[in-house]
Chains A and B, each alone.
Chain A
Amino acid sequence: MPSLGTWLAAFFTLCMLSFLYKDNPFFRLAESFFAGLSLGYYIGIVMNQTLKPNLVLPLIQDFHANWNLVFAAGLGVILYFRYVKRVAWVSRWALAVYVGYYVGVNMMQKLHGEVIPQIGNTMLSLRYSGVDTLSNLVMVVGVLAVLIYFYFSAEHKGVVGGVSRIGIWFLMISFGAAFGYTVMGRVSLLIGRMVFLVNEWARPLIGSIT
């Protein structure tokens, strides 16, 4: 006989799947339960895995060495000032640091970690040396054509228009491949749930009845 947990998991799985027939109260119930659990999950991981080991314990155990973390806690707390009308504007300070930091990190990530290596790796030899030359040509033409397609400062006519059309073809191949992969991904998730229903719920259930 399946365990209580397996019954609960099967019930929730079937509630969600019932949406395929039509919207119904079981689906809405499961959906609301899921949203609540997600937020409750955040409370658990943030309190237990970040705030406790990285803020509370260092301050309690060795305040002298970790006093600077008080500023981090302060920034975190003033994020919540937005809910108090009179001092809501103070929450902008924390938001400014939060957004500023991630934008700065992201800028270096994009320029140093994407633009430079990707452009560098597109500078390929086109001198004929066999099949590899064809692949190199496809890559160089593909990257340039797609970039030209996204370049809107010149009208897409004549040579620019022709090259940007090739860019569209490359994009279509990529979107088609992405579609195929997306199907594969979504089907994998379905397989995961069906394997649970068949192997962990239905089989033990049938086994216990027969």
Chain B
Amino acid sequence: MNLERVMQVDRRIIYLFVAIGTILPIIFVIGLPVSITPPVQMAFDRIENELQTGDIVLMSFDYGPSSAPENAPMADAMLRHCFSKGIKVVVIALYPLGGLSEAVNELNKVTAEFPELKYGVDYVNLGYKDGAQAAMKKMAENIHEVFPTDVNGTPLDRLPIMKNIRTYRDMKLVVSLATGIIGEWWANLVNAQFGIPVIVGPTAVSAPKYYAYLEAKQMAGLLGGLKGASEYERLVVNRYPKLGEVYATPGLYTATKGMDVQSIVHLIMIAFIVLGNVVYFTTKRKPRKAS
């Protein structure tokens, strides 16, 4: 076989391998185990061991559809964790292109699993706000002026949960599910200037940079991409076995199931990279025939 021709294979053949490698494990779920890494364990422990029932967590939806398959499972797992432990959640969105709708739809989905929770008492959705950094700074002085109403226009003084929340000081933790740079701002602006602990769930693309913030203790935990989300899912199911029933719902998209597919596609890509290099070194050693 002419090895050089292997390198000139139509790109659509490669696409086909990737597509099949993605679809088959979705149809036939493998169920590979996921191990826990320290940054995710730190995030889980912060909520599990250092927060009490009734404490308030601010959860910011800083992502849109472009990264929802990574960020949404993180949001779901963290919401489920907070609600299972009796922690109250204040939801906001600072990402313009879809943050609001993601916050609305994910919150609707998870709260439907906890019928005992009351909107405005156990959780609230304050909606989206423009000018992310300006909003973050202003929230240190008065959240009610940044979000005078909730997502549907209800004034905050009609929502019991917001009566005792004026600034970051009234909350125990910020969780940001982030694409792009907004997650960094929670660390280098809000944590640095106002001191509230921050956990960020960034997309895998930006996760490598977040390790620097984590190491410098500017963040209390890190969930890097789909892998981070799948680890968090495992941790909450281990701690709250009741959630296992939710995660076992047939057809429900979870990060853990996603990691099955991830395994196969990564192996395909690794195989292609190795093949490309084998061909490169084999053909490099052979003297080229004069054309």
Which positions in A face B, CB cutoff 8 Å? 20-21, 38, 41-42, 45-46, 49-50, 52-54, 57-58, 101-102, 105-106, 108-110, 112-114, 117-118, 120-121, 139, 174, 177-178, 181-195, 198-200, 203
Contacts and interface: CB of A to CB of B under 8 A. Distances in A.
A191 B251 CA distance: 14
Given A54-B148, A117-B218, A184 B212 contact: no
Given A112-B193, A113-B188, A188 B204 contact: yes
Contact of A188 (B127, B134, B226): B226
A58 B142 CA distance: 15
Contacts of B226: 184-185, 188, 191
Given A41-B97, A195-B26, A198-B26, A109 B185 contact: yes
Given A109-B185, A188-B258, 8 more contacts: A42-B97, A113-B188, A113-B191, A181-B205, A183-B266, A184-B262, A185-B67, A188-B204
A183 B261 CA distance: 13
Contact of A185 (B98, B133, B203): B203
B238 interface: no
Contacts of A46: 130
Contact of A114 (B27, B188, B225): B188
Given A21-B12, A113-B218, A185 B70 contact: yes
Interface of B: 12, 15, 18-19, 22-23, 26-27, 66-70, 96-98, 100, 127-131, 133-134, 137, 146-149, 151, 153, 185, 187-189, 191-193, 203-205, 207-208, 212, 215-218, 224-227, 251, 253, 258, 261-262, 265-266, 269
Contacts of A203: 251
Contacts of B23: 194, 198
A121 B225 contact: no
A64 to B, nearest CB: 16
A182 B212 CA distance: 17
Given A45-B96, A50-B130, A194 B22 contact: yes
A49 B128 contact: yes
B133 A112 contact: no
B148 A53 contact: yes
A53 B92 CA distance: 14
B244 to A, nearest CB: 20
B88 to A, nearest CB: 22
B207 to A, nearest CB: 5
A92 B22 CA distance: 51
A113 B193 contact: yes
Contact of B129 (A50, A181, A190): A50
Contacts of A58: 148
19 contacts: A20-B15, A52-B153, A53-B148, A54-B148, A102-B133, A109-B133, A109-B185, A113-B188, A113-B192, A118-B216, A120-B216, A182-B204, A189-B70, A191-B26, A191-B262, A192-B68, A194-B23, A199-B251, A200-B251
Contacts of A185: 67, 70, 203-205, 225-226
Given A53-B147, A118-B216, A188-B204, A183 B269 contact: yes
Contact of A198 (B27, B66, B189, B258): B27
A147 B225 CA distance: 28
Contacts of A187: 22, 261-262, 265-266
Given A101-B134, A184-B227, A49 B127 contact: yes
Contacts of A120: 216
